[in-house]
């Protein structure tokens, strides 16, 4: 059930400000922040948790009628407990009925405001809505559930999951550690703790935890994906690719996995596989700009510049709405778009346009070393050595120096008569 409930998550929000993000916006995500849609993947990963919470057996829950048919089948007013079971089942099997579930849970809470399960399920329903502004309310419901019933360890787990989405990784870790102290060895909790550790920069610990979880329960598909991310963080690209390939071969077919795998292929120089995988990702999520950008990169590196151009042409310019609503996503998207467009224009020999694109990326985030490095390169090619030097220096400060041979060339040009241009 929770698998389904959490499925609509699209945004990874590091420090979400007080603005709303329309659901239609799908900002770029970095590999470090990739999360899975649990609607499509690992649907059963967390069912044990919810059966436990709702006091159901899987068969009983799956047999419970959907809300829409409840009134027809059972005209007598069901008990609160019965209604909770039905909502729990509905949340698992009917993602399209989240609104009904929320109304039903609110009605239940009007009768019994101290129902910990109702609060927890309502929190799950809010998360399932996918609206970022609901995440705070979801946490509030989980908190209230735990205040009423501190033993409701699943609420702690779901809350941790929302914290991860909100970029409050340390808080997620704290909750998961607490959850594990209440339910030692629970593989779902251990796996998510592994992901939290990865985001905190502890990739080795992450791998250790996730492998431990997978040993206990090899069917945890999301954990397997998180393991591949941790391996990527450790630089073990081949192992990461192998994990993701196994996922895809097992039938997992969701944009995040395809995007991460495709990006890993690009990085590994396996460009045919990259284009195939990223094309699949784009077909699954046509509006995702991060996928288009990676696909354009794949085409460009294959020398298919026209196809790369076509992918970038599909990208809308990042709107001011996104800047308001999710500055972090806006910044990432703007930088990635500017960098890829600049690279493409350089490859096309259109250096002025490349300069413009890189400059736009720099406007979005002046502290990106990679952008300074590319601007240094393009100015070097244009013979604007002084500007090239300025950006090269800045790039070096930011940890992305020009390649040694290019820097040597630049220094020679600067030193040459008229090189101060």
Partner 1 sequence: MSATTWGALVVALVMMTGLVPGSRAGAQRAAAPAGTAAPSRFVDATTAAKIAFVHDWGATPNKRILETLGSGVAWLDYDNDGFEDLFFVNGAPGSASALYHNNHDGTFSNVTAQAGVGGMTPKTSGVYRYGVAVGDFDNNGFLDLYVTAFGANTLLRNNGNGTFSDVSAAAGVAGPSSDWSTSAGFVDIDRDGDLDLYVANYLTFRTADDPFCGLHKEGYRMYCGPTIFDGQADRLYRNNGNGTFTDISRAAGIANPAGKGLGVAFCDVDGDANVDIYVANDQVRNFLYRNNGDGTFKDIAYGAGVGFSTDGKPQGSMGVDCADIDGNGLPDIFVTNFEDELNSVYRNLGGGAFQDVSASIGLRTGFGPVGFGAKLFDMDNDGDLDLVITNGHVIDNVPLYRPASTFAQRNLLYENVGGRFLDVSDRSGPPFTARHVGRGLAVADFDNDGDLDVVISNQGEAPILLKNQSAATNHWITLRARGTKSNRFGLGTHVEVEAGGKRQVADVNNAASYLSGNDIRIHVGVGAAIVIDRITLRWPSGRAQTLTNIKPNQILTVDEP
Which parts of this chain interact with partner 1 (CB under 8 A)? Answer: 15-20, 102-103, 106-107, 109-111, 113, 132-137, 139-141, 143-144, 146-147, 166-168, 171, 320, 323-324, 327, 330-331, 364-367
Shorter beta-carbon distance to partner 1: residue 167 or 419: 167
Question: Token pair of 347, please?
Answer: 């490859």
Q: Nearer to partner 1 by C-beta: 128 or 187?
A: 128
Q: In the structure encoding, which two tokens stand for residue 247, read together?
A: 């996922």
The residue (of 298 and 338) whose beta carbon lies closer to partner 1 is: 338
Cα–Cα distance for residue pair 93/105, rounded to 1 Å: 16
| 141 CA to centre of own chain | 23
Q: Is 20:142 a contact under the CB 8 Å cutoff?
A: no
CA-closest candidate to residue 38, choices 79, 70, 1, 72: 1
The encoded tokens of residue 234 equal: 């450790």
CB count in 10 Å sphere of residue 200 = 14
Which one, 141 or 384, has the nearer CB to partner 1? 141
Query: In whole angstroms, what is the distance from residue 30 CA to residue 339 CA?
Result: 14
The answer to whether the beta carbons of residues 408 and 389 sit under 8 Å apart is no
User: 365 φ, ψ to 5°?
Assistant: -150, 95
Which residue lies nearer to partner 1 by CB, 111 or 287? 111
Q: What minimum distance in Å lies between the beta carbon of 390 and partner 1?
A: 17
| Residue 341 C-beta: closest distance to partner 1, Å | 20
- Whole-angstrom distance, CA of residue 101 vs CA of residue 38: 18
Least separation in angstroms between CB 113 and partner 1: 5
How far apart are CB 360 and partner 1 at their closest, in Å?
13
What's the closest the beta carbon of residue 176 comes to partner 1, in angstroms? 15
Instruction: State in angstroms the smallest separation of the CB of 94 from partner 1.
Output: 18
Nearer to partner 1, 102 or 389 (CB): 102
């Amino acid at each position: 059930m929770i698998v389904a409930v959490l499925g609509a998550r699209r945004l990874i929000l590091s420090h979400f400000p007080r603005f709303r993000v329309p659901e239609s916006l799908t900002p770029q995500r970095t590999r470090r922040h990739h999360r899975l849609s649990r609607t499509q993947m690992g649907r059963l990963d967390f069912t044990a948790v919810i059966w436990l919470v709702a006091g159901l057996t899987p068969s009983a829950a799956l047999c419970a009628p959907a809300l829409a048919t409840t009134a027809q089948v059972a005209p007598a007013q069901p008990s609160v407990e019965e209604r909770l079971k039905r909502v729990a089942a509905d949340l698992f099997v009917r993602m399209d009925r989240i609104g009904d579930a929320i109304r039903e849970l609110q009605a239940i809470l009007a009768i019994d405001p101290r129902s910990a399960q109702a609060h927890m399920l309502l929190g799950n329903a809010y998360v399932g809505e996918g609206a970022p502004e609901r995440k705070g309310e979801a946490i509030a419901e989980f908190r209230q559930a735990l205040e009423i019933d501190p033993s409701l360890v699943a609420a702690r787990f779901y809350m941790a999951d929302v914290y991860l989405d909100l970029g409050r990784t340390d808080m997620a870790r704290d909750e998961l550690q607490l959850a594990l102290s209440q339910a030692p060895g629970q593989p779902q909790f251990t796996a998510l703790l592994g992901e939290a550790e990865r985001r905190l920069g502890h990739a080795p610990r992450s791998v250790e935890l996730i492998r431990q979880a997978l040993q206990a329960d090899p069917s945890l598909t999301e954990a397997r994906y998180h393991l591949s991310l941790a391996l990527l963080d450790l630089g073990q690209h081949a192992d990461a690719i192998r994990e993701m390939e196994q996922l895809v071969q097992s039938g997992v077919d969701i944009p995040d996995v395809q995007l991460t795998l495709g990006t890993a292929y690009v990085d590994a120089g396996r460009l045919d596989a990259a284009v195939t995988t990223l094309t699949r990702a784009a077909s699954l999520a046509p509006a995702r700009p991060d996928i288009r950008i990676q696909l354009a990169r794949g085409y460009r590196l294959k020398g298919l510049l026209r196809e790369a151009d076509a992918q970038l042409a599909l990208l809308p310019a990042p709107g001011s709405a996104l800047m308001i609503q999710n500055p972090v996503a806006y910044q990432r998207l703007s930088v990635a778009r500017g960098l890829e467009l600049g690279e493409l224009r350089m490859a096309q020999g259109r250096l002025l346009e490349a300069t413009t694109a890189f400059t736009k990326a720099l406007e979005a985030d002046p502290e990106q070393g990679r952008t300074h490095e590319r601007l240094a390169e393009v100015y070097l090619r244009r013979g604007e050595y002084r500007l090239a030097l300025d950006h090269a220096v800045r790039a070096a400060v930011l940890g992305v120096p020009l390649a040694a041979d290019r820097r040597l060339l630049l220094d020679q040009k600067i030193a040459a008569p008229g090189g101060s241009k």
